Amino acid sequence: MDRFEEHLVQYQAQVKEDLEKRVAFIRQQVDGPGLGGVVVGISGGIDSAVTAALCVRALGSERVIGVWMPAYSLPVHEEDSRKLAEAIQLQLVTVDIGPAYDALLPAIEAVQPLDEKTKGNTKARLRMTTLYGIANQKGYLVADTCNRSEIYVGYMTKGGDGLADFNPVASLTKHEMRILARELGVPESIITKAPSADLWEGQTDEQEMGFTYEDLDRLLITGQTRPEVRERIEYLHKISEHKRKLMPGI
């Protein structure tokens, strides 16, 4: 067993303790200021599933709203979102952002044509606008769902899924998220599904990044990874630094 595998075995042994630590953190963020609850964007993927499950565990289902926001999304993601809601007793609502996306895109492209990645980022920003609309009205906080692996390489949309009020999973790699997901009772179909931001048809995280989550997580956990991908990972980390810091000012 190598260092990476040993780390995961160790995390598995302490996952219950880690779960309780994250539950306490959520309560501190919400109950400390006397706020009503939390809004979580639900994608059908593991990161939003774990975040939502932690929030329900911390606050109860009556204080957590999960929002499924399709925009020509694949049916499998909606199905998994509903499986999650049933499994963890999550209040799940739907806001179809497709019409807003269809209306906004031609207006932008009249000024500047957009490639597929930028169109996908626009969807992510519409989703965050939706979450904050609900949260503002309810007096709730928006929970971020980005994990440590994504944050390190900037695999999130600035002003989209990279924007929220607090993050209960920021220190967890993708592999640790899978362990915690099973402890929280997240459906297996979500845990084993290829990670995707659902920004365009057929899009997956690993295809877009150019390496696997194992490559990335091995580097984060052990400092080692395949030599041919280390340069790519560190390049993405460098150029995405602006996503992890408050904007500079003078």
Binding site for deamido-NAD(+), by residue number, is 125, 158, 165, 242-243
The values of phi and psi at residue 217, to 5°, are -70, -35
Q: For 91-200, where are the alpha helices, taking DSSP H only? A: 98-109, 116-138, 148-153, 174-184, 188-192
Q: Are 19 and 183 in contact (CB under 8 A)?
A: yes
| Residue 96 is a catalytic residue | no
**Do 232 and 238 meet the contact criterion of CB atoms below 8 Å apart?**
no
CA dist 217 and 213 (Å) reads 6
Helix and strand numbers, DSSP H then E, in the chain: 12, 4
Q: What residues form the annotated binding site for Mg(2+)?
A: 47, 150
Binding-site residues from annotation: 41-48, 125, 145, 150, 158, 165, 174, 196, 242-243
| Catalytic annotation, pick one of 80, 144, 150, 198 | 150
Q: Which residues contact 217 (CB under 8 A, 6 or more apart)?
A: 4, 149, 173, 174, 175
47 is catalytic: yes
> What's the CA gap between 168 and 144, in Å, rounded?
7
> Which residues are annotated binding-site positions for ATP?
41-48, 145, 174, 196
Q: How far, in Å, are 21, 46, 99, 101 from residue 190 at the CA level?
A: 23, 6, 27, 26
Give the separation between CA 105 and CA 65, rounded to whole angstroms.
28
State which H helix or E strand residue 240 sits in: none
Choose the catalytic residue: 2, 6, 17, 47: 47
Nearest alpha carbon to residue 93 among 101, 104, 103, 85: 85
Catalytic site positions: 47, 150
